[in-house]
Chains A and B, each alone.
Chain A
């Protein structure tokens, strides 16, 4: 039941750092003999370029954390492929190759309170990473490097901070330690799974600014996973919206947010509180993303969608071009008229 993906806009394949093709992950529910499968991620084509911040946005249960775990090789995909710098990630076998990939693509976890071992000082995690991934450094070199990355993430003075235990730090400081651990291995792509959702609003701004700084100064790409589309707008170049395991809309941040095509993106946008704006009266939508168990054909958003038509129940919508580099998977959405006409070459499907 692979979805046709023809016609999807390619955004300059040359500088793609990481690319997924038809990435899917299903989980078996119940015992070994059970045939019920939960479809957490289905047919995801995701591209992340060098020095790019991509936001993966969706509600709880949309499959966004599963994507991060697939990319971090925490578990293998059920189907599909992840290509990193042209190499298929799940064909890497040797210890050297695996260390190489895990060093270039580290993950920062959602909950800074449980991501660190409480019996070790925070230096432990960073030093261990350095020992594993940067064997060329000697003891003093590792220490120097640890202090350097602590400085970058704003933990000053680095020497004192390295000697602290996790319980001596605030949530914001711990999340910075998480980023420092990732930075120590000279990453090319940081997988950040809801790095600010557990933090106070006043501390979030600091972490978001730090992420933008990491890209500018360290040249790292970031996959920023979040349910908060407002913070995605603040840091990301491109947004991919997920719903119930499918990517339903993707495109440049400003385009997606100013002209959202998918009804789900519109729902996400209307839910963001903004005290500078007048309240938009929205009826209480008590819907939630469905648990996708053994799905048939059809749009997974149709039960919550105000615009659903008969086709939505029978045909799974594929991502279609809506404008330059902007795609949405919706039968009802209409493409932007003039930009499509002005760049007809880019709409041609180059895939075999």
Chain B
């Protein structure tokens, strides 16, 4: 096995308020290899965006990394100072934010925003900046004429593409994407995903892609991690998770969206809503919403059990493993 590009080790993040400590990310471990596409799936409030921000070292108070390491290219990012991070951030890894509508500065043209980004991380001539800006815009299929456009002159899909172009300015090894497609409609979403995949194959960067819609990553990711209430619920190869989801929560997510081609089935969704992370349920955090919950789920907290090449946090598999022994 080659060295992973990114090795996140038992990372925990808490939001510290005056009277409470809310554990948004709880002992998450994951690895990303060079050129790999990892999808992270979960509902709003499961801590997936917090996890991304923690990996990218973009957390601001009251959020704080309480334990764990984020080893990127052999360096622990958590220990780096802001000055040291500046040399790594955006050059070696970059971030595409959730809504391009808010992430782009409405007062500045695309060219000016690209220039700011490049100036912040490297000393470059105006001509070099111009050439590179035109190149990356061309990569995402936007005419270079739009460099002088302001964000409001672009459609939602084009803004999102411009954000991706911005993330590619320095050809990083890792691009972290926080729901880049959820504000787009299905046609734009499909074409953006195809484009991300093509760029990834062309340049070989790794991708961490966060979404709440499992179907989006089905055809694009190599591995999928399902998050629930700040924890890893299931992590494994995309093919095996979609063919045979192990965790009841992954099954619920897969059954939650209608199909256009297959037979028409009644959708069940997942009853209830994600727990308040200030007061997570006892035992398994999913048990109040779980259709397969057993008596011990309310009391004993499940570990991550290895089943095949998948890891799953569910007591159903603890039983199976015990029986097999």
Give complex CA distance A229, B198 in Å: 26
Asked if A284 contacts B216 (CB within 8 A), the reply is no
Contacts of B158 in A (CB 8 A): 288
Stretch of A20-28, A265-273, A334-342 that contacts chain B: A265-273
| B 236-257 binary contact with A (CB < 8 Å = 1; else 0) | 0000001000000000111111
Interface size on A, residues (CB 8 A): 42
Interface centre among B242, B268, B269, by most chain A C-beta atoms within 10 angstroms, is: B269
Give complex CA distance A285, B195 in Å: 9
Give complex CA distance A282, B190 in Å: 9
B79 within 8 A of A: no
Asked if A286 contacts B269 (CB within 8 A), the reply is no
Interface residue from A60, A203, A231, A277 paired with B258 (Cβ < 8 Å): A231
Asked if B191 contacts A284 (CB within 8 A), the reply is yes
Contacts of A284 in B (CB 8 A): 141, 191, 194-195, 198
B219 within 8 A of A: yes
Interface residue from B141, B156, B212 paired with A201 (Cβ < 8 Å): B212
A88 within 8 A of B: no
Contacts of A277 in B (CB 8 A): 261-262
In the complex, chain A residues 266-316 whose Cβ is within 8 Å of any chain B Cβ: 267-277, 279, 282-286, 288
Contacts of A286 in B (CB 8 A): 141, 157, 191, 195
B28 within 8 A of A: no
The smallest C-beta distance from B145 to any residue of chain A, in angstroms, reads 15
A227 within 8 A of B: yes
Contacts of A120 in B (CB 8 A): none
A-B contact count (CB 8 A): 132
B188 within 8 A of A: yes
Interface centre among B184, B195, B252, B260, by most chain A C-beta atoms within 10 angstroms, is: B260
The smallest C-beta distance from B227 to any residue of chain A, in angstroms, reads 13
In the complex, chain A residues 188-242 whose Cβ is within 8 Å of any chain B Cβ: 200-206, 208-209, 227-231, 233-234
* Contact A268:B261 (CB < 8 A) given known A204-B256, A273-B216: no
Asked if B242 contacts A275 (CB within 8 A), the reply is yes
Asked if A202 contacts B262 (CB within 8 A), the reply is no
Contacts of A61 in B (CB 8 A): 155
Contacts of A170 in B (CB 8 A): 273
Q: Which residue of B lies closest to A288 (CB)?
A: B155
A257 within 8 A of B: yes
B270 within 8 A of A: yes
Interface size on B, residues (CB 8 A): 45
Contacts of A270 in B (CB 8 A): 190
Contacts of A173 in B (CB 8 A): 273
Give complex CA distance A272, B264 in Å: 15
* Contact A202:B186 (CB < 8 A) given known A257-B260, A286-B141: no
Contacts of B155 in A (CB 8 A): 60-61, 288
| B 201-233 binary contact with A (CB < 8 Å = 1; else 0) | 000000000001111101100000000000000
Give complex CA distance A206, B253 in Å: 13
Contacts of B258 in A (CB 8 A): 205, 208, 230-231, 233-234
A59 within 8 A of B: yes
* Contact A275:B44 (CB < 8 A) given known A200-B212, A201-B214, A205-B268: no
| A 90-106 binary contact with B (CB < 8 Å = 1; else 0) | 00000000000000000
In the complex, chain A residues 253-271 whose Cβ is within 8 Å of any chain B Cβ: 257, 267-271
Contacts of A234 in B (CB 8 A): 258, 264, 267
Asked if A171 contacts B261 (CB within 8 A), the reply is no
Contacts of A288 in B (CB 8 A): 155, 157-158, 188
Q: Which residue of A lies closest to B213 (CB)?
A: A201
B113 within 8 A of A: no
Asked if B185 contacts A279 (CB within 8 A), the reply is no
Asked if A230 contacts B260 (CB within 8 A), the reply is yes
B200 within 8 A of A: no
B189 within 8 A of A: yes
Asked if B216 contacts A205 (CB within 8 A), the reply is no
The smallest C-beta distance from A269 to any residue of chain B, in angstroms, reads 6
Q: Which residue of B lies closest to A280 (CB)?
A: B219
* Contact A274:B195 (CB < 8 A) given known A201-B256, A288-B155: no
Asked if B157 contacts A275 (CB within 8 A), the reply is no
The 17 sampled A-B contact pairs (Cβ below 8 Å) are A60-B155, A60-B188, A201-B257, A202-B253, A205-B257, A227-B185, A227-B187, A228-B185, A231-B258, A234-B264, A257-B260, A269-B260, A275-B214, A275-B254, A276-B259, A283-B194, A286-B191
- Since A61-B155, A201-B256 are in contact, a sample of 8 more A-B pairs with Cβ atoms closer than 8 Å, ordered by chain A residue number, is A60-B155, A228-B185, A230-B258, A271-B186, A273-B186, A274-B215, A276-B242, A283-B194
Residues of B bordering A, CB below 8 Å: 43-44, 141, 155-158, 184-191, 194-195, 198, 212-216, 218-219, 242, 252-262, 264, 266-271, 273
Shortest 3 CB-CB contacts between residues of A and residues of B: A205-B269, A275-B218, A227-B185
